[in-house]
Structure 1
Amino acid sequence: MSEVLDKKNSRYVLAVVILGAFLIPFMGAALNVSLPSIGNEFLIDLVWLSWIPTAFILANAAFILPFGRLGDIYGRKKIFTSGVIIFALASLMAALSPSGILLIISSFLQGLGCSMIFATGVAILSSVFPVETHGQSFGIYIAAVYAGLLAGPILGGFLTQTFGWRSIFLFNIPLCIAILSLIVLKLNQDWSGSYKENFDIKGTLIYIPSISILLYGFTNVFQWYGQLMIGLGILFLILFIIIEYKTFNPLINPRIFKKIVPGISSLTTILMITSTSAVWTLISLYLQYIQTLSPLIVGIILSIQPLIVAIFSPFTGKLSDNINGAYLVLIGMILISMGLFLGIFIELNTPLIAIVMLAVLLGLGNALFSSPNTNIFMGSVDKKFYGSSSAVLSTIIFTGQLLSLGILILIFTGTLGGLEVVPSQYGTFIISLKDTFTIFTALSIIGTLIISLLVLKIGKNKI
């Protein structure tokens, strides 16, 4: 059902969706700042500590496609509302967690709720607002996302430093109550678009465990069972793709990758996300453990990158409407590679200006990459695949985030061996940091070379 509401009610819908859009990146960004405080309280090592944000992203990556599809069939507001409720309860559970294990479980449940919110938010806006105002409503939505990314490090740092890390999770609850109140009091209808279509249960039952098994195996790659899990995960993903080809209403339509442009664009996306997502978890740990900076100062430093992306993305997106976006994406990947390369040279006493320069380069690179690359990807697929293509792009982003944190966990496991970050281990931590940045730089350079192929393929023609 696609039904345009009157102007007053549509504003309530917009308020609900943008509050949800704020929660997701805020929680992820705030977690990065609070990790050392959590580690100090529970006396858990870096490997277990890294599983807190990993569990959050894992749930998002694993469930966003199924919940997006369920929203199309059974009602997007139902799924969105359920996501807010789960997120609120999981936040309370996290705030009251007596152990690191329970906090990881709570973080996973938060990610589950977030996947329901993220999977349906844009679809609700598309259902409610007229086509001629979609750009404006999506612009406000994106602004809310970056507001969350900006507020996460700063507000999260302030809350952690002033009231303790548990206050970050408690902060979410009033926002969730506000969202639910607006839904109950102001939104009396639901929106869906696939009444008579079947849900791909078989594909879902293979897709969700395949990602979970693959990540678990990747984080234990030095053990025989980790290598076994990686093999099983790959086999499950291959089986999933085969099933999707034969399914009439699949979760992901593999046919969109038959063209070279969306294939190169999606591959470059996952390389870019993989090479950058865990950087801020690593930098947060470095600044607080090694540089002994307060959570608030660290939060301010971590906000530089999303601030730059928020400022420049609208301009680069508009610019990609007028020129070949592949050139902008290429420049963005080059800047990202330069920023990651700087990270290889971080030492125990590296000046903060070097960290700021790294953040600026990654911010500018991301701004030049994201909007033009989305235009390239969505502009190169058939209109009948727009819905599944959008879901695929979101899944690629979450999968890249998972792989990025997986690499970080892998490096910590291999070099620190699960040791806590104490002064005697600072040198080993720096080695882990350098190894991680080396891998991220290599992945980014590969992405740069791949997008160069797209530039050569397209030539001077605009996509």
Structure 2
Amino acid sequence: MVSPAERRYTLLAVALGSSLAPFMVAGLFVAIPAVGEEFTADPVVLSWIPTVFFLAAAMFLIPFGRIADIYGGKRVFSIGLAIYFISALISALAPTAPVLIGARFLTGVGAAMIFATSFALLGLILPDSERGTALGVNIAASFGGFALGFLAGGLLAYYGTWRVLFLVPLPVALLAVGIIRRYLRGECALSRGTRPDLPGIALSTTTILLLMVGLSLLPAVQGAAALVAGLAALGAFIVHEARTEDPVLDIHLLLRNRPLALANAAVLAYSAAASAYVYLFSLYFQYVQGFDARLAGSLFLVASLVTASLVGYAGRLSDRGSPHLVATAGVAMTIAGLATLSFIDPAMPVAVPVFALALIVVGIAFFQPPVYNIVIGAAERAMYGVASGLVETMRLLGMTASMAVTIVAFALFFKGMAITGETVPLLLGSMQTLFRIYLALAVVSLVMTWLTGRAGRSAP
């Protein structure tokens, strides 16, 4: 039996761990022009700095979720925090853009270990009546990390150096490890005794790598070839998982559990629609509107605080019933914001895109806790690690796809040129195209979210 004190400390440790990666991601989003200036990098290279983090996290989430089920969520969570620590040091000392990109990939591996276990740990130690609220608190911590990252990134880029950004999380990572090792007794390994599906892990990571890299290389022949190879690897993965005794992902579970499958599809489409907007707004504020890093970071700070303040309320609403309705309302608000931004141009008053930004962040707050509550609630307790890893994989796959599409758009519009005063029209043209693509994806997510509720009502 887990005591109330142990539950509180575990929630604190998980929240601290969940805030670290968003802190670094957000800080880099704001500081990206300063990074580009120091390394003399074009928009495509700069786009890979956040993209490679999402790619690594998406590649390893499901494998680490299953490994956590077998060997223990607390152990995997703690190792992930240690990897955070090491990769942050490498990022702070990176001499070139490729080294920074490699360090961000390593951070993504650590993030996969954290994301794959955080919701599972909360699901295992909390009663069902408190699960939605706790998920809301954890997501609020994530957005709190975003908020502080935006603030720190703006201030450090303006007054000092973006490199200090990676030194800030180091003591937080140590504190989170200490709490989880001290106050969470025993180990959470509900599938202990089974073997990790190594061929399935290899096929799943290869599939994601080929599909996401291939998407980012379109319309080049290499991109199409990588996509074809990725689809072949996906087919092999599905066949293997359907036949193996201890799969890394139970394909049959998704086939017979429609709420779980539809909720994950909704998360994938929504994340693809509502992720790269932060990166695009950072460029828009600093290159089009002429804001300095401090002001851009402050605007993102306010947006993140708004989201963090609302996710707890959205989590409580999802505990009271009909979480799919709360999530659907969130998607609808995001659609309204993206529809406005699809017409962005130099003549548009800055208040209009700021209002659209507000709609998007409020939509995110009302979408995430309810849909995660649906996913965890639809899974068996012994598969919490896999369910947690699966939904986070869908989120990060969507984020990677969102950035990959951004890379393609920038490559087509800029053709190797840097963002300057002369190329600002190219930036705005690419943003219009991208926001229209995101709008279509958000509509798909709306349909999937609504169908999730209907599937839940019809489930036996």
Please give the secondary structure, in 1, of the residue aligned with 2:287: helix
**Distance in 2, Cα, partners of 1:412 & 1:47:** 6
Range that drifts further, 77-86 or 137-146? 137-146
**Distance in 2, Cα, partners of 1:342 & 1:325:** 27
Aligned to 1:270: 268
Structure 1 length normalisation: TM-score?
Answer: 0.90
Per-residue deviation at 1:443?
A: 1.6
Report sequence identity in percent: 30
**Distance in 2, Cα, partners of 1:89 & 1:171:** 13
Range that drifts further, 315-324 or 89-98? 315-324
Aligned to 1:19: 16
Please give the secondary structure, in 2, of the residue aligned with 1:293: coil
Range that drifts further, 67-76 or 429-438? 67-76
Preserved CA contact (<8 Å) 2:135 2:369: no
Preserved CA contact (<8 Å) 1:304 1:356: no
Please give the secondary structure, in 2, of the residue aligned with 1:248: coil
Aligned to 2:206: 209
Preserved CA contact (<8 Å) 1:257 1:263: yes
Q: Deviations over 1:383-428 (max 9, x none)?
A: 6655433322111111111111111111111111222111121111
Residues 1:402 and 2:391 aligned together: no
Residues 1:31 and 2:32 aligned together: no
Range that drifts further, 354-363 or 6-15? 6-15
Q: Deviations over 1:319-354 (max 9, x none)?
A: 344454444333332221111111122223533211
* 1:272/1:194 CA distance change after superposition, 3 Å: same
Q: Which structure 1 segments of 5+ residues have no match?
A: none
* 1:408/1:192 CA distance change after superposition, 3 Å: same
* 1:393/1:445 CA distance change after superposition, 3 Å: same
Aligned to 2:223: 226
Coordinate RMSD, CA, aligned: 2.8
Aligned to 1:172: 169
Per-residue deviation at 1:261?
A: 3.7
Please give the secondary structure, in 2, of the residue aligned with 1:219: helix
1:256 partner amino acid: L
1:428 partner amino acid: L
Query: Which of 85, 91, 94 is residue 91 of structure 2 equivalent to?
Result: 94
* 1:33/1:201 CA distance change after superposition, 3 Å: same
- Aligned length, in residue pairs: 459
Per-residue deviation at 1:241?
A: 1.6
* 1:65/1:461 CA distance change after superposition, 3 Å: closer
1:216 partner amino acid: V
**Distance in 2, Cα, partners of 1:189 & 1:331:** 40
**Distance in 1, Cα, partners of 2:322 & 2:5:** 39
Range that drifts further, 374-383 or 239-248? 374-383
1:92 partner amino acid: L
Query: Which of 431, 441, 444 is residue 443 of structure 1 equivalent to?
Result: 441
Q: Deviations over 1:429-453 (max 9, x none)?
A: 1111111111111222233344455
Q: Which structure 2 segments of 5+ residues have no match?
A: none
**Distance in 2, Cα, partners of 1:375 & 1:77:** 21
Preserved CA contact (<8 Å) 1:203 1:251: yes
Per-residue deviation at 1:133?
A: 6.1
**Distance in 2, Cα, partners of 1:422 & 1:165:** 21
Structure 2 length normalisation: TM-score?
Answer: 0.90
Per-residue deviation at 1:35?
A: 0.8
* 1:7/1:218 CA distance change after superposition, 3 Å: same
Query: Which of 224, 227, 239 is residue 242 of structure 1 equivalent to?
Result: 239
Q: Deviations over 1:64-96 (max 9, x none)?
A: 221222222223333222222221111111111
Aligned to 1:117: 114
**Distance in 2, Cα, partners of 1:137 & 1:321:** 10
Identify which of structures 1 and 2 has the higher relative contact order when contacts are C-alpha pairs closer than 8 Å and 6+ apart.
2
* 1:184/1:328 CA distance change after superposition, 3 Å: closer
Per-residue deviation at 1:23?
A: 0.6
* 1:187/1:41 CA distance change after superposition, 3 Å: same
Residues 1:287 and 2:290 aligned together: no
Aligned to 1:366: 364
Per-residue deviation at 1:459?
A: 11
Aligned to 1:51: 48
**Distance in 1, Cα, partners of 2:211 & 2:244:** 23
